[in-house]
């Protein structure tokens, strides 16, 4: 069972309190009724499913109930960082030791 840091509760909590809610930073078009079939396909059906760094949504459903975003390495299954929904996409980089870190966090 993973521990996941909830950016609202400000601490690590057991995975059983959370639900994964799919890929993050896919914004619903404001003019959704008017978009093309191709644009709808891209928005609704296409997901990146990467090996390595993934940005995904989680919900602390059995905790504070908030949705938030996370950066996770799908190879090591490690969370690099979590942040509140609405905040900009967090960019990460892989250090020389192979570990992922938030860009600019290494000093």
Partner 1 sequence: MANTAHAHRIHPLEGRIAGSAGVRITPAAPAARVSLRAGPSDVKALSKALGLDLPLAPKTTSGALPGRLAAWLGPDEWLIIDEGGDPLADLGKAKVLHSAVDVSHRNTAILLSGAGARATLEAGCPQNLTDAVFPVGAASRTVLGKIEVVIIRTGDEDYRVECWRSFSTYAFELLSVGARDCLA
Partner 2 sequence: MSGANRIKGRGRLTPAKTVRFTFDGKALTALEGDTLAAALIANGIHLTGRSYKYHRPRGMLSAGPEEPNALIDIGRDAARRTPNVRASVQEVFDGMQARSQNRWPSLAFDVGAINNLASPLFAAGFYYKTFMWPKAAWKHLYEPIVRAAAGLGVSPKEADPDHYANHFVHCDVLVIGGGAAGLSAALAAAHAGASVILCDEQPETGGAFHHDADAKIDGVSGWDWAQAATAELRSMANVRVLTRTTAFGYQAQNHVALVERVTEHLANPDPALPRERLWQVRARQVVIATGAIERHMVFANNDRPGILLASAARTFLNHFGVAVGAKVGVYTACDSAWATAFDLKQAGVSVPAIVDVRPDLDPALLARAKELGIEVLAGQCVLDTSGTLRVKSMKVGRASGGSTRSIAIDALIMSAGWTPSVHMYSQSRGKVVWDEDSKRFLPGKHVQDCVSVGACNGVDDLADALEGAAEAGLAAAKAAGASGTKAWGAPGSAISASWAGSMMGAAGGAGAETSVKAFVDFQNDVTAKDIRLAVREGMHSIEHVKRFTTNGMATDQGKTSNIHGLAIAAETLGKPLPQVGLTTFRAPYTPVTFGAIVNHARGSLFDPTRRTPMHGWEEAHGAVFEDVGQWKRAWYYPRPGEDMHQAVNRECRTVREVAGLFDASTLGKIEVVGPDAAAFLNLLYTNSWDKLEPGRCKYGIMLREDGFIYDDGVVGRMAEDRFHVTTTTGGAPRVLSHMEDYLQTEFPHLKVWLTSTSEQWAVIAVQGPKAREIIAPLVEGIDLSNEAMPHMSVREGRICGVPTRLFRMSFTGEAGYEVNVPADHGDAVWKALWAQAEPLGACAYGTETMHVLRAEKGYIIVGQDTDGTVTPDDAGLNWAVAKKKPDFVGIRGMKRPDLVAPGRKQLVGLLTRDPSVVLEEGAQIVANPNQPVPMTMIGHVTSSYWTENCGRSIAMALVADGRALKGKTLYVPMPDRTIEVEVTDTVFIDKEGVRLHG
Euclidean distance between CA atoms 57 and 36, whole angstroms? 26
Select the binding partner of residue 17 from partner 2, partner 1, none (C-beta < 5 to 8 A, by kind).
partner 1
Q: Which of 5, 21, 66, 85 binds partner 1 (CB under 8 A)?
A: 66
Q: Which of 5, 17, 43, 67 binds partner 1 (CB under 8 A)?
A: 17
Euclidean distance between CA atoms 1 and 11, whole angstroms? 16
In the chain, which residue ranges form alpha helices assigned H by DSSP? 37-44
Residues that bind partner 1 (CB under 8 A): 1, 8-11, 13-14, 16-17, 62-66
């Amino acid at each position: 069972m993973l521990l996941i840091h909830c950016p609202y509760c400000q601490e690590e909590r057991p995975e059983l309190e959370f639900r994964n809610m799919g890929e993050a930073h896919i914004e619903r078009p404001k003019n959704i009724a008017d978009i093309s079939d191709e644009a709808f396909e891209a928005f609704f059906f296409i997901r990146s499913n990467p090996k390595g760094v993934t940005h995904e949504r989680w919900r602390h459903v059995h905790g504070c109930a908030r949705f938030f975003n996370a950066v996770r390495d799908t190879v090591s299954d490690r969370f690099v960082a979590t942040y509140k929904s609405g905040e900009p996409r967090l960019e990460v980089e892989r250090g020389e030791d192979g570990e992922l870190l938030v860009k600019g966090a290494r000093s």
